[in-house]
Amino acid sequence: MDRRAGFRCPITALVLALAGGASPPPEALTKLREISREIQAKKDDYRRGALDRTRAALTELGENDAAGLAGPLAEFGRKGRETAPATPDEGRPG
């Protein structure tokens, strides 16, 4: 962040405007929305990658040690049932 150019963080600009009773600067809102979309995209990419890596590891384990695959499936199957949300959308950021 280059403070010499007068650039302020969009969150700071929003908070200062709201604290002063002013409307938030539209450019700060736009930038904050853009940052939020980028963060969500990175989270989604990471999640897809983690799922892909997990599937690949389980596939390899199943191909090389079918009996050994039962342990992790049972272990993580239990954990999934214990932590699963009550509804499909519960626990997801909105």
Question: Contact 42/34 with Cβ under 8 angstroms?
Answer: no
Is residue 72 included in any domain, yes or no?
yes
Q: Are 2 and 10 in contact, with CB atoms under 8 Å apart?
A: no
Residue 88 in any domain: the answer is: no
Please state the separation of Cα 89 from the chain's center in Å. Answer: 14
56 lies in which domain range?
Answer: 3-83
pLDDT greater than 70 at residue 73:
yes
Residue 84, pLDDT score: 62
C-alpha atoms less than 13 angstroms from C-alpha of 65 in its C-beta half-sphere: 9
Say how many domains are in the chain: 1
Q: Is residue 92 part of a domain?
A: no
Mean pLDDT, residues 5-17: 77
